[in-house]
A = this chain, B = another copy of it.
């Protein structure tokens, strides 16, 4: 694929391969939709000399040089057609034709061939199974949908072509315009990450919108989106959020979607503004398109109606926003301008007899205050208030103060008279105060994304070779599941473990025990014995002089229990007082899209019953590890709630990052659980570990 895909949206000449004038054919719809294109259009079809007034050529070699080929030939000849495009020097190809991976294994083979050809010729290829692409500045509508788009600064990618047709029909009605629109189709070559990159470089795109059912390469998406979202908002609806939805999405696209937890973590790390539904997708996109970002999350509500003002306040309470607390200057200024019955605290009530002037003065005052980052104006219709004039005032004041203002001019016909002025100023207006406030909330999310400093995941000084040896040894033994015998793996990556070792000789056991202060814990170590306690395979509080006997006894019990069990030895470990700290869990599993996910939470009921865990895609940075603790409802228990000694959070986040580095270094580790990781005021200790490896990835 080429780095620059702008030729997809602003080509000089488009060739429609499979163009036809047959009624009802997709190849006709494409040609018809290209009528308003600023550049040249040529048809390619060996059976025709002309299609709908355009010159038609038998193949791309004979046609004049095109920089975009739209392919609508039958599935069996698509690969050939794309190869021809490559040969003819066309760099950008949109494959409209369906009948690829979405139809079964034969189609999947064809799609692989298609991707290989695109790779050979370094093509920017969209699809197959795409509705097409569209770009308003050049008048390009290379889709077979029924609608064109209005011009605008939103660029929109969708994994559903039908959704694009729906959105365009609706958006035209709403006056919402687009810069580029692309139907991603099966994403054989170009995917969401490519378009994020493309639109980041595009000065005419203000906001990227996406409807996605899955992400091809999660880590690449995060790394790209992180950079994009530092200055360009990306709002995404990811469908298949719920279990039912994920099932439906998988049967629809044939792909296995990653877990919702992975998407949630991945979008958060990528700085993507996530929309739960279609309404939010466009509400958020319009706010991000039209409004400046707020300086702070402090909202001022200005209203002529107590009740609706309270509703807006509730919505602020539901959001990440908070109600601005006015300083004395602001209160004094409002007191001077408002009648005595007005409310000079937030929400500011300018009263039902307020005209536009009073709204303007109050808005000026609150926007001028450094305590206020943004404002909602909530107005009920009254005889003395002209909504159209009010709209002008909002536009002026917003421009003047450079702070976002959203509107809730509550009415029907009289509100419509205000629509043009608001829309020209980029100010969203909703009947429901909650929707207006939610738009501000999206701005606050984007503000937080842009404000956060990117931090490279730390590279700790670890003993990677020793770790590799432990894993290779296990693989050589034929082990895929490892237990405490792998504690050294944690040690190699600097995650603290109790003093002790796995030994395979009673004399060594005594030697190790002598080296440890106090009594020891001894456990049989065998990949074939999972529930050690049940067979008496664990001895607690063994004094030094009983270690040898204990060793023999543990081995005997294990052999009696399962004569053919592989016995790796016995773990001799210092006694750890688990009551001295909080048991946490640190785990890893792999997501098909995002790769290794690191999970942290409190142990026992918190994980199993309350499902209070936090997940991030590895590698995890220090800031992200901090956020993982913050995310937990049970975090106060690590922070001194109920008279506990606060845990050493730095030791926890250190362990999180080191584990993240371990699983990033070794893709062979499929799953890993440190349970418990005991967190105390003095640090952490991994008391037990289990992992699953894939020897082939070593």
Contact = CB atoms under 8 A, between A and B. Distances in A.
Contacts of A174: 412
Interface string A308-342: 11110111111000110000000000000000010
A277 B636 CA distance: 32
A251 interface: yes
A434 B641 contact: no
A308 to B, nearest CB: 6
Interface string A23-48: 01000000000000000000000000
Given A163-B307, A172-B412, A352-B162, A383 B313 contact: no
How many A residues are at the interface, by size bracket?
35 or more
Interface stretch (A79-87, A391-399, A605-613): A605-613
B381 A252 contact: no
Nearest to A242: B317
A357 B313 CA distance: 48
Secondary structure class of chain A's binding surface, majority of residues: helix
A604 interface: yes
Given A341-B103, A610-B610, A636-B609, A435 B279 contact: yes
Contacts of A251: 343, 345
A414 interface: yes
A312 to B, nearest CB: 9
A138 interface: no
A314 B609 contact: no
A581 interface: no
B381 A318 contact: no
Interface in A219-252: 237, 239-245, 247-249, 251-252
A642 B604 contact: yes
A314 B316 CA distance: 26
A156 interface: no
A244 B165 contact: no
Given A170-B411, A252-B309, A277 B434 contact: yes
A162 B412 contact: no
A276 B431 CA distance: 14
B410 A310 contact: no
A146 interface: yes
A499 to B, nearest CB: 30
Residue among A306, A380, A641 with most chain B CB within 10 A:
A306
A441 interface: no
Contact of A170 (B244, B248, B410, B634): B410
Contact of A413 (B173, B345, B604): B173
Residue among A277, A347, A433 with most chain B CB within 10 A:
A277
A159 interface: yes
Contacts of A637: 605, 609
Contacts of A565: none
A609 B318 CA distance: 20
Contacts of A169: 381, 410-415
A605 B641 contact: yes
Contact of A211 (B307, B309, B410): B307
A256 interface: no
Contacts of A249: 310, 313
Contact of A248 (B347, B382, B383, B633): B347
B313 A248 contact: yes
A363 to B, nearest CB: 18
Contact of A382 (B165, B317, B609): B165
A160 interface: yes
Interface string A365-405: 00000000000000011110000000000000000000000
Contacts of A412: 169-174
Nearest to A608: B642
B605 A158 contact: no
Interface in A255-289: 276-279
A435 B280 CA distance: 11
Contact of A277 (B146, B313, B382, B432): B432
B245 A317 contact: yes
B610 A634 contact: yes
B434 A276 contact: yes
A306 B173 CA distance: 23
15 contacts: A103-B341, A146-B383, A162-B308, A162-B382, A169-B414, A173-B413, A174-B412, A237-B311, A242-B314, A251-B343, A253-B306, A279-B431, A279-B432, A279-B435, A608-B641
Interface of A: 24, 103, 146-147, 158-160, 162-163, 165-167, 169-174, 211, 213, 237, 239-245, 247-249, 251-253, 276-279, 304-311, 313-318, 322-323, 341, 343, 345-347, 349, 352, 380-383, 410-416, 431-435, 604-605, 608-610, 633-634, 636-637, 641-642
Lowest 3 A-B CB distances belong to which pairs? A160-B307, A242-B317, A173-B412
Given A167-B410, A609-B642, A610-B633, 6 more contacts: A158-B307, A170-B411, A243-B317, A253-B306, A277-B434, A278-B432
